[in-house]
């Protein structure tokens, strides 16, 4: 994880030689290991490069990097596959060395196409006075652009800034492909022309049609003096995933497990879905997802100085990996697979966030009317969870017994049963309304921007507090304060989008069948960059930590894309089985129990942040709470 920025000025006599204090602060938060700036001046333009590195691989490598030819490179990413990066290597330097050897546009595109993993980058090619930049196919790393209204300057940055009362002019760089700007011609014409090199997902005329569509869509959101054009040579990047399998069942859809469509979901009824073919598919899925998790938990430095016997006796060893953890099926499967690959002596932090409820929690079984509507698997969690009614009425922790806290504690017991030798740090992160409002105004609002809906506010705030990792851990019958120092945070995002996990998928299936569901899933994956990933990267990166997304590994996505839809989800089956069916079967094969049957519960509802301040809001409404204050104003407030 890094904070990267390039500020370009064409009115050189008025150019700034440093970044704004608030922007510099935001960037430094992302890269605590090193900070460095580099100024490149030309008669027609000036580029200020600013790099802030979170060290995770190889030797500490300060950015920006510059080679003998005057090329400059800023990299915020991880190479998990495609290029050869040894354990002792730094991937930033590997990618830059490869770029430096490229002699033309085609070479650069070929290189970028090979990289598997999350990335955003900025590359100044001195010989052609070109600035290349972009984000990976899914947009797993944030990159924003901001164009000055006077066409005198523009800025690319991992994170933007916000001034109170001013509409943000930062926008997320689209993931349609990578871009190139000719700085010389821009300085002369006073018009910014963005050359787009799109991802190639088809061939022939359809590629051209898709590119024209992308150009129109991107241009619509830019100032009039900025235009987007396709490269003259019609060059493109190779798509890193296989196309989505859109095949439909022949004739009426029937499966051998349709007889379980009635009654509450149980492990036994889920077992019925495992015929010989599905057992093979499930094992293939486990294998490819396990490799994805392995790459993401082993690519970081560890303390290897202790012998295994010494390490097992060292209870104070810190966790290198944390998981955003609700006890739901996505986080449970990730935790189970991470346990396979992380050294046994190393703890794993399970980050569980809860927002203070206004009413004291009561277990559902004390509410006869509500209990009739309960799903069977929810009872299973309540039975193995602490009874809130048994706690003292004046115990403030009862205010944080939100649904994700209950399922999280139950999930912890499942993981402890699978591997009792592992230290599982279940970090209870409790957030009051006062703390939420204070830190949203001071920090979170400017990280969520340019997104601005009520949903962005709820999820962005929840993820920020969870990834900060400050809370409590119960150990040896005592509760102690705890702060997670893990630099890498695994998250389950991508599972719902690919495996029909949202309630809207069930509605779509009921209206339009498998054909409509296929189109919905295709759309979900296509918009995940603008709806989720850039925001989550900015929010998690603010703590000097790196988000990693196992379900969005290129090989995982390609495997899931290759399957017919009914092998991934069967929405003729009830909640708790039909959605994310493939993942539930995998969870059962991995030894998980009640969590394999948990219905989907969105983070904003499970953590109880939704409706915490206003009850009449819709998720898609613009959120006025995201209009925060700048660091300068905040410092005045503190005085």
- Listed in sequence order, the residues at least 6 apart from 580 whose beta carbon sits closer than 8 Å to its beta carbon are 329, 495, 496, 499, 500, 501, 568, 569, 600
Phi, psi of 355 (to 5 degrees): -105, 140
Q: Which ranges of the chain have pLDDT less than 50?
A: 204, 305-307, 310-314, 360-396, 630-639
CA pair distance 108, 123, nearest whole angstrom: 10
Q: Among candidates 17, 64, 14, 10, which has minimal Cα distance to 36?
A: 64
CATH architecture of 2-238: 4-Layer Sandwich (3.60)
CA atoms 210, 212, 213, 215: torsion sign: positive
| Nearest-10 crossing angle of helices 454-468, 534-541 | 40
Q: What is the DSSP letter of 619?
A: T
Neighbour-count burial of 586, counting CB atoms closer than 10 A to its CB (0-12 exposed, 13-18 middle, 19+ buried): buried
Q: 249: how many CB neighbours lie within 10 A of its CB?
A: 13
Q: Three-state DSSP class for 72?
A: strand
Q: Among candidates 7, 18, 128, which has minimal Cα distance to 74?
A: 7
Q: Among candidates 142, 245, 261, which has minimal Cα distance to 542?
A: 142
Marked catalytic residue, from 2, 211, 445, 623: 2
CA pair distance 123, 579, nearest whole angstrom: 42
Helix, strand and coil content of the chain, in percent to the nearest 5, comes to 40, 20, 40
CA angle 434, 547, 458 (to 5 degrees): 35
Q: What is the DSSP letter of 606?
A: H
CA pair distance 598, 376, nearest whole angstrom: 9
* DSSP E strand stretches across 27-113: 34-41, 46-53, 65-66, 72-77
Q: Three-state DSSP class for 109?
A: helix
Q: Among candidates 260, 251, 248, which has minimal Cα distance to 578?
A: 260
Cβ 463 vs Cβ 539: under 8 Å = yes
Phi, psi of 588 (to 5 degrees): -65, -40
Listed by start position, the domains of the chain span: 2-238, 267-299+321-638
Q: 182: how many CB neighbours lie within 10 A of its CB?
A: 17
b or e along 49-82 (b: 16 or more beta carbons within 10 Å of the residue's beta carbon)? bbbbbbbbbbeebebbbbeeeebbbbbbbbbbbe
Residue 503 tokens read as 């309630």
Q: Which residue has the tokens 């600013």?
A: 50
CA separation, residue 36 to residues 1, 30, 65, 317 (Å): 15, 13, 10, 32
The per-residue pLDDT for range 88-124, each reduced to its tens digit, is 899 999 999 999 999 999 999 999 999 999 999 999 9
Q: Which residue has the tokens 């407030």?
A: 637
Q: Has 2 been annotated as catalytic?
A: yes
CA atoms 110, 113, 114, 115: torsion sign: positive
CA angle 260, 261, 262 (to 5 degrees): 90
Q: Among candidates 292, 340, 273, which has minimal Cα distance to 116?
A: 292
CA pair distance 567, 327, nearest whole angstrom: 24
Pick the CATH number of 267-299+321-638 from 3.40.50.620, 3.40.640.10, 3.20.20.150, 3.40.50.12780: 3.40.50.620
Parallel/antiparallel/unpaired status of strands 321-324 and 488-490 = parallel
What is the pLDDT, as a whole number, of residue 398? 82
Q: Among candidates 506, 524, 530, which has minimal Cα distance to 560?
A: 524
């Amino acid at each position: 994880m890094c904070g990267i920025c390039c500020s370009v000025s064409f009115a050189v006599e008025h150019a700034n030689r440093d970044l704004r204090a608030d922007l510099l602060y935001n960037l430094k938060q992302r890269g605590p290991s090193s900070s460095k700036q580099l100024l490149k001046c030309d008669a027609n333009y000036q580029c200020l490069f600013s790099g802030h590195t979170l060290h995770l691989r190889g030797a500490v490598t300060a950015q920006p990097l510059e080679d003998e030819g005057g090329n400059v490179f800023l990299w915020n990413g991880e190479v998990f596959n495609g290029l050869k990066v040894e354990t002792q290597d730094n991937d930033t330097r590997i990618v830059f060395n490869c770029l430096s050897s490229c002699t033309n546009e085609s070479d650069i595109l070929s290189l970028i196409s090979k990289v598997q993993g999350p990335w955003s980058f900025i590359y100044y090619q001195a010989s052609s006075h070109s600035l290349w930049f972009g984000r990976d196919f899914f947009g797993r790393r944030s990159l924003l652009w901001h164009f000055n209204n006077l066409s005198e300057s523009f800025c690319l940055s991992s994170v933007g800034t916000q001034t109170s009362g001013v509409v943000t002019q930062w926008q997320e760089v689209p993931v349609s492909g990578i871009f190139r700007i000719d700085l010389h011609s821009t300085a002369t014409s006073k018009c910014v022309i963005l050359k787009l090199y799109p991802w190639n997902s088809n061939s022939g005329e359809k590629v051209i049609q898709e590119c024209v569509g992308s150009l129109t869509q991107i241009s619509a959101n830019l100032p009039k003096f900025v235009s987007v054009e396709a490269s003259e040579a019609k060059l493109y990047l190779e798509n890193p995933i296989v196309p989505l399998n859109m095949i439909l069942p022949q004739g009426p859809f029937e499966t051998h497990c349709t007889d379980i469509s009635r009654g509450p979901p149980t492990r036994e009824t889920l077992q019925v879905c495992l015929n010989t073919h599905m057992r093979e598919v499930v094992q293939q899925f486990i294998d490819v997802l396990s490799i994805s998790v392995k790459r993401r938990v082993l690519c970081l430095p560890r303390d290897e100085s202790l012998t295994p016997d010494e390490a097992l006796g060292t209870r104070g060893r810190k966790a290198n990996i944390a998981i955003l953890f609700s006890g739901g099926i996505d986080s449970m499967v990730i935790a189970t697979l991470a346990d396979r690959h992380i050294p046994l002596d190393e703890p794993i932090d399970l980050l569980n966030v809860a927002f203070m409820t206004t009413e004291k929690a009561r277990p559902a079984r004390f509410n006869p009317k509500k209990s009739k509507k309960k799903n069977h698997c929810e009872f299973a969690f309540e039975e193995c969870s602490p009874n809130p009614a048994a706690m003292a009425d004046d115990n403030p922790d009862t205010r944080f017994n939100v649904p994700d806290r209950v399922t999280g504690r139950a999930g912890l017991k499942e993981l402890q049963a699978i591997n009792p030798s592992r230290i599982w740090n279940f970090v209870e992160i409790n957030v009051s309304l006062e703390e939420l409002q204070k830190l949203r105004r001071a920090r979170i609002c400017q990280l969520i921007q340019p997104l601005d809906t009520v949903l962005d506010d709820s999820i962005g705030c929840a993820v920020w507090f969870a990834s900060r990792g400050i809370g409590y851990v119960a150990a040896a019958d005592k509760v102690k304060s705890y702060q997670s120092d893990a630099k890498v945070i695994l998250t389950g995002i991508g599972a719902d989008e690919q495996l029909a996990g949202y309630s809207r998928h069930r509605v779509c299936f009921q209206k339009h069948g498998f054909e409509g569901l296929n189109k919905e899933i295709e759309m979900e994956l296509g918009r995940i960059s603008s709806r989720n990933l850039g925001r989550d990267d900015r929010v998690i990166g603010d703590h000097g930590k790196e988000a990693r997304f196992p379900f969005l590994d290129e090989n995982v996505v390609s495997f899931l894309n290759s399957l017919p839809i009914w092998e991934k989800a069967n929405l003729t089956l009830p909640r708790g089985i039909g959605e994310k069916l493939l993942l539930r079967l995998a969870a059962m094969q991995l030894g998980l129990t009640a969590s394999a049957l948990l219905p989907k519960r969105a983070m904003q509802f499970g953590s109880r942040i939704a409706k915490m301040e206003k009850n009449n809001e819709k998720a898609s409404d613009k959120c006025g709470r995201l209009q925060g204050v700048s660091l300068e104003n905040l410092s005045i407030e503190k005085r």
